[in-house]
Amino acid sequence: MTTTDAVRILVPTGMLGGGFPPETVTRGLELGADVIAVDGGSTDSGPYYLGAGIAKTARAAVARDLRLLLRAAASAGIPLIIGSCGTSGTDSGVEWVAGITREILAEEDLSLRVATIYSSQKAADLAGLPIRPLPPAGPLDAATLESCENIVGMMGHEPIVAALAAGADVVLAGRATDTAVAAAYPLMKGMPAGPAWHAAKIVECGGQCTTNPRAGGVLATIDADGFTIEPLDPAAACTPTSVAAHMLYETVNPFTMREPAGTIEVGDAVYTALDPRRVRVTGSRFEVADQHTIKLEGARITGYQTMSFTAVRDPHILGQIETWAALLRKMITEWVSNTLALGPADYDFDIRLYGYDAILEKLDPSPVPPREVGVMLLVQAPTQETATAVAKVANPLMLHLPTPDMDYLPSLAFATSPAETERGAAYEFVLNHVVEVDSPTSLFRIDLEGLQ
């Protein structure tokens, strides 16, 4: 098979800043990688990063990964594609990654042409477009759009292809589907859509489709009939199970997945072990949609939070921890009413019992009392001042509240001093909608000169 018959995608890690062994990238280049693709973001960590427009990853971690990848791309003369820059893919996230890239290119004396693709959207620009909800969301109104601190459109492969076709060596994209980042180059080179999109889905998280996800990334080789996956660490392996299982990740249906341009169909896919380390996949299809759509993501402020955390080791309290927690909720409500003259409409709070039922609550009851419990109080109010005031009113209760049958005041253990930690603004996702577009690139702005 000649190099024109296949495209090899090197995916070093599941997320830029997540780290990877440098030698695995070297191995990928030795195996003939044609492009390096890596995701730079996610919504997995909640709406804060989109709402605030900041990254969840440390700048030093992103710079470390970027330096290695820019060197690798330059030495091999192959493109580097990064999607959803700065975690949420806002324009500020793209600029943040672009700034780091600019510094590295200067320090390493690398001459690479960089394209930035911006995906932030203005509420006023979206108001007149055909927008429809995805289940379970309802119709979108102008007030919801205007309430968002940040809105992004999730691009498919087309804007990335446009940047590559214009001569970019490095593409720094705003919010993009995880798969579009890896599918763009093989689609640009004429590889069939079924194998290209399916392979992109499997490799989106790097080594997660291998038997050792911590060992580094993977290489996907896409050709006219299917694709082959192998890990970049010689000690790791891909198996038919580890590869096929990744279609269960972040999908409603493990046999189909919607992209802006259509739907990946893998119900007829066959996963075959070529040897102990490599898997061959055939039978994937891609069905082009009648209407191209761009998914919108938006986050708005819901209030401001203050958190306190105390620990219970008293066996008497632990033996009736649910009774104690119910009393704590009741007492906080009464004390806040009497002290701050606030009612249920003025604030909200949650008590979570870590080590007992904070994660699954009643879905997984414990048959025995816990050995110790961490009690988290999370207060939310329209202002930070109010949230902190409520938490401070609750402070004595978090420190000394007895059970109803105790004739003494216990001493519990705050984790920090001061006990109250102001978390700042809290956000929620409010958009689960798609925009119908005539052009797959119309909502995105491509700048080829941003770093020159």
Would you call the peptide bond into 260 cis, given omega within 30 degrees of 0 as the criterion?
A: no
Residue with the two structure tokens 């603004």:
425
Mean pLDDT of 323-337: 98
Packed helices 321-340 and 384-400: angle between N→C axes, nearest 10 degrees? 130
Percentage above 90 pLDDT, the chain: 94
At residue 222's C-alpha, the angle toward residues 218 and 224, to 5°, is 165
pLDDT digits (tens, 9 = 90+) for 132-180: 999 999 999 999 999 999 999 999 999 999 999 999 999 999 999 999 9
Q: What is the token pair recorded at 180?
A: 């579009």
Q: How confident is the model at residue 452 (pLDDT cuts 50, 70, 90)?
A: very low
Q: How confident is the model at residue 4 (pLDDT cuts 50, 70, 90)?
A: low
- Say how far apart CA 384 and CA 340 lie, in whole Å: 14
Contact 195, 139 (CB under 8 A): no
Contact 113, 71 (CB under 8 A): no
- Say how far apart CA 441 and CA 418 lie, in whole Å: 50
This prediction's pTM: 0.95
pLDDT on residue 367: 85
Mean pLDDT of 280-292: 98
What does DSSP say about strands 373-381 and 293-312: parallel, antiparallel, or unpaired?
antiparallel
- Is it the case that residue 36 has pLDDT exceeding 90? yes
Of 371, 281, 379, nearest to 335 (Cα)? 379
At residue 246's C-alpha, the angle toward residues 241 and 250, to 5°, is 150
Q: What is the DSSP letter of 213?
A: G
Q: What is the token pair recorded at 139?
A: 């119709």
pLDDT digits (tens, 9 = 90+) for 194-252: 999 999 999 999 999 999 999 999 999 999 999 999 999 999 999 999 999 999 998 98
Which SS3 state, helix, strand or coil, does residue 248 take?
A: helix
- Say how far apart CA 51 and CA 362 lie, in whole Å: 31
- Is it the case that residue 451 has pLDDT exceeding 60? no
Contact 319, 168 (CB under 8 A): no
Mean pLDDT of 103-109: 98
